[in-house]
């Protein structure tokens, strides 16, 4: 087993980022809420080191998360970050005070001492601070190893017990030597080996599932999205034809998408794929429905019904495979329940179809790692780097009631917009881009004729996490070409507008 690091989560906003930064150094990291793992479990799991994350403001606040001080006796190296640093000081008998009038926020110059944690970094550098409280008296046995103009203890350590704390955030890119500091902790203090590599993950997983799923029939709902595609190819390499993938084509996909999915998985990979052409079923259910949430609900339910019908035809199925990824599994430090995607959540299926077990081959991976695994498995770049596409598909991009004709108009307009973005070399510069068919008609003129056609809105957004998003400043020439081609090539569309609203207040999708 590879060396692994525990990220003990106290509810900080950067907990996943810390884990990703550790994994970027090829060391496996997992996140556990502080209230879901005991000192004994930490010991038994054999972690090479523990990182305390940031969290709520004051360690003296009774509602702030605390941890069993016995962890300090384990002999496992600890790095506390921000709140985690203060908590470490507090647990070890130091003093934390509030600096209400001199809180530090943003890029700050930090002066670091000659210490193993700061090996190979200059004595003066930029770090990212975000705190009001600070350590006013380090615990006994600790020495101060960094300071800023306002913060007398920006880092501390007890070398003998391998306990380290930094008030700043090494995981954010604004801390110029943040990755180096984490590397020093991982390799020089915890003595980790850099052996968490995607090649070995992929090989190991294939080996494991080949062994564990031998002779079993496995079923997977393939959407053509990155996660289910990578899960499917990985399992296919492990168990071949014993994996059946059901691809429900609800008729709400983009132009040519259904064929592309079929071709890739059945053609290129030779997989056992069932494509269910269920357009009529879905459109019948959606007829006349205008409310976005009702559309989503109908699609979600119908998806399950179609999947059930297919599964019933297959006879005995032992295992259900899902493309769940790590951010779906991670729980927050406050003890909230896991975040589960609401759409295409086949987790509800075991109630109606009997499976002996569920496998989730990607449950340890972040999205960028899933993509790396995809490349490793030979999945085409086009699929691995696909922009997100909502489960309910074009149903939430046709405003108002859905008809087959409207879907066709939208598909054509959307394909043109995507082609223009791609040919301008902008596909990697904007995170999601698509067309929306509004329910607005407007007057136009073509030749000597008056027209009264549909209005299409184009949308492109730039974002890190889709929680907030900026509208992408696409070059006018690209918008001009898309507009001109759409109105010329798609009969029925006479006006094109560009959506210049960010999120918030707007959402990415129109419905």
Is-contact 303 248, C-beta < 8 A? yes
Nearest approach, Cβ of residue 247 and ligand XMP (Å): 16
Nearest approach, Cβ of residue 360 and ligand XMP (Å): 17
Q: Using N-to-C axis directions, what is the helix angle for 404-423 and 476-489, rounded to 10°?
A: 140
- Indicate whether 392 belongs to the interface with ligand XMP (CB under 6 A): yes
Distance CA(428)–CA(425), nearest Å, equals: 7
Is-contact 6 50, C-beta < 8 A? yes
Residues 483, 488, 493, 495, CA torsion sign? positive
Nearest approach, Cβ of residue 301 and ligand XMP (Å): 13
- Interaction residues for ligand XMP, span 191-250 (CB under 6 A): none
Nearest approach, Cβ of residue 106 and ligand XMP (Å): 28
426 to 445: interface string for ligand XMP, x by CB under 6 A: ------x-------------
Distance CA(243)–CA(68), nearest Å, equals: 45
Would you say 29 or 395 has its CB closer to ligand XMP? Answer: 395
**In DSSP terms, which residues pair with 8 in a beta bridge?**
32, 52
Would you say 333 or 392 has its CB closer to ligand XMP? Answer: 392
# of chain residues touching ligand XMP (CB under 6 A) = 12
Within 13 Å and on the Cβ side, how many CA atoms surround 121?
25
Would you say 92 or 461 has its CB closer to ligand XMP? Answer: 461
Within 13 Å and on the Cβ side, how many CA atoms surround 215?
0
Nearest approach, Cβ of residue 332 and ligand XMP (Å): 19
Quick one: which segment of 26-34, 77-85, 176-184, 386-394 binds ligand XMP (CB under 6 A)?
A: 386-394
Question: According to CB under 6 A, which one of 343, 367, 441, 485 is a site residue for ligand XMP?
Answer: 343
- Interaction residues for ligand XMP, span 465-484 (CB under 6 A): 466
Neighbours of 280 (CB within 10 A): 10
Give phi and psi for 368, each to the nearest 5. Answer: -65, -30
Q: Is the peptide bond before 272 cis (omega within 30 degrees of 0)?
A: no
- Interaction residues for ligand XMP, span 248-307 (CB under 6 A): 296
- Indicate whether 386 belongs to the interface with ligand XMP (CB under 6 A): no
The CA–CA distances, whole Å, from 423 to 63, 76, 457, 485 equal: 54, 53, 20, 14
Q: Which helix (H) or strand (E) holds 477?
A: helix 476-489
- Indicate whether 460 belongs to the interface with ligand XMP (CB under 6 A): no
Would you say 84 or 392 has its CB closer to ligand XMP? Answer: 392
Would you say 198 or 221 has its CB closer to ligand XMP? Answer: 221
344 to 383: interface string for ligand XMP, x by CB under 6 A: ----------------------------------------
Nearest approach, Cβ of residue 285 and ligand XMP (Å): 16
Q: Which residues are catalytic?
A: 82, 169, 171
Is-contact 358 321, C-beta < 8 A? yes
Quick one: which segment of 171-179, 228-236, 237-245, 503-511 binds ligand XMP (CB under 6 A)?
A: 503-511
Quick one: which segment of 117-125, 126-134, 245-253, 385-393 binds ligand XMP (CB under 6 A)?
A: 385-393
Sequence-distant (≥ 6) Cβ neighbours of residue 139 within 8 angstroms? 89, 92, 93, 94, 158
Question: According to CB under 6 A, which one of 123, 240, 388, 475 is a site residue for ligand XMP?
Answer: 388
Per DSSP (E only), the strands in 252-382 are 272-277, 319-321, 357-359
- Indicate whether 391 belongs to the interface with ligand XMP (CB under 6 A): yes
SS (H, E, C) 146-175: EECCCCCCCEEEECCCCEEEECCCCCCCCC
Question: According to CB under 6 A, which one of 20, 147, 334, 503 is a site residue for ligand XMP?
Answer: 503
- Indicate whether 508 belongs to the interface with ligand XMP (CB under 6 A): yes
Q: Would strands 357-359 and 243-249 be described as parallel, antiparallel, or unpaired?
A: unpaired
Nearest approach, Cβ of residue 230 and ligand XMP (Å): 16
Q: Is 122 left (phi over 0), alpha (psi -120 to 50) or beta?
A: beta
SS3 of 3, please?
Answer: coil
Quick one: which segment of 172-180, 354-362, 451-459, 500-508 binds ligand XMP (CB under 6 A)?
A: 500-508
The residue ranges that bind ligand XMP (CB under 6 A) are: 296, 343, 388, 390-392, 432, 466, 503, 507-509
């Amino acid at each position: 087993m590879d060396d692994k690091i525990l990220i003990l989560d106290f509810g900080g906003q950067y907990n996943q980022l810390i884990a990703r930064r550790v994994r970027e150094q090829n060391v496996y990291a997992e996140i556990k809420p502080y209230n879901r793992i005991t000192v004994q479990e930490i010991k038994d799991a054999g972690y090479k080191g523990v990182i305390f994350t940031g969290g709520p403001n004051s360690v003296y606040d009774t509602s702030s998360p605390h941890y069993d001080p016995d962890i300090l006796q384990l002999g496992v190296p600890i790095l506390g970050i921000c709140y985690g640093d203060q908590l470490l000081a507090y647990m070890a008998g130091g003093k934390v005070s509030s600096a209400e009038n001199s809180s530090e926020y943003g890029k700050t110059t930090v002066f670091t001492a000659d210490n193993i944690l700061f090996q190979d970094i200059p004595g003066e550098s930029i770090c990212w601070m975000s705190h009001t409280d600070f350590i006013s008296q380090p615990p006994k046995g600790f020495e101060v190893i960094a300071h800023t103009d306002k913060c007398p203890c920006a880092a501390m350590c007890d070398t003998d017990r391998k306990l380290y704390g930094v008030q700043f955030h090494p995981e954010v890119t604004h801390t110029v030597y943040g990755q180096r500091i984490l590397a020093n902790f991982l390799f020089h203090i915890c003595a980790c080996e850099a052996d968490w590599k995607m090649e070995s993950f992929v090989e190991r997983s294939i080996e494991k599932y080949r062994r564990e799923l031998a002779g079993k029939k496995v079923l997977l709902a393939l959407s053509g999205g990155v996660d289910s595609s990578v899960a499917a190819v990985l399992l296919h390499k492990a168990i071949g034809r014993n994996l059946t993938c059901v691809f429900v084509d609800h008729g709400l996909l983009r132009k040519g998408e259904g064929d592309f999915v079929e071709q890739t998985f059945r053609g290129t990979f030779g997989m056992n794929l069932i494509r269910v052409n269920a357009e009529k079923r879905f459109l019948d259910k959606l007829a006349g429905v205008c409310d976005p949430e009702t559309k989503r609900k109908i699609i979600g339910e119908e998806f399950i019904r179609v999947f059930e019908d297919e599964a019933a035809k297959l006879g005995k199925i032992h295992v259900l495979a899902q493309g769940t990824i790590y951010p779906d599994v991670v729980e927050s430090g406050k003890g909230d329940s896991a975040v589960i995607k609401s759409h295409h959540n086949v987790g509800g299926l075991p109630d109606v179809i009997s499976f002996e077990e569920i496998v989730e081959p990607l449950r340890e991976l972040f999205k960028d790692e899933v993509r790396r695994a995809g490349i490793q498995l030979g999945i085409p770049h086009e699929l691995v780097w696909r922009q997100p596409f909502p489960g309910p598909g074009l149903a939430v991009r046709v405003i108002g009631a859905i008809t087959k004709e409207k879907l066709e108009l939208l598909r054509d307009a959307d394909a043109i917009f995507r082609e223009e973005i791609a040919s301008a070399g902008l596909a990697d510069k904007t995170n999601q881009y698509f067309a929306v068919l509004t329910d607005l008609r407007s007057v136009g003129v073509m030749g000597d004729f008056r027209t009264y056609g549909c209005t299409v809105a184009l949308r492109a957004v730039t974002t890190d996490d889709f929680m907030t998003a900026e509208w992408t400043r696409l070059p006018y020439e690209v918008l001009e070409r898309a507009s001109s081609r759409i109105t010329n090539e798609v009969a029925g569309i006479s006006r094109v507008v560009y959506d210049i609203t960010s999120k918030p207040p707007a959402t990415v999708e129109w419905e």
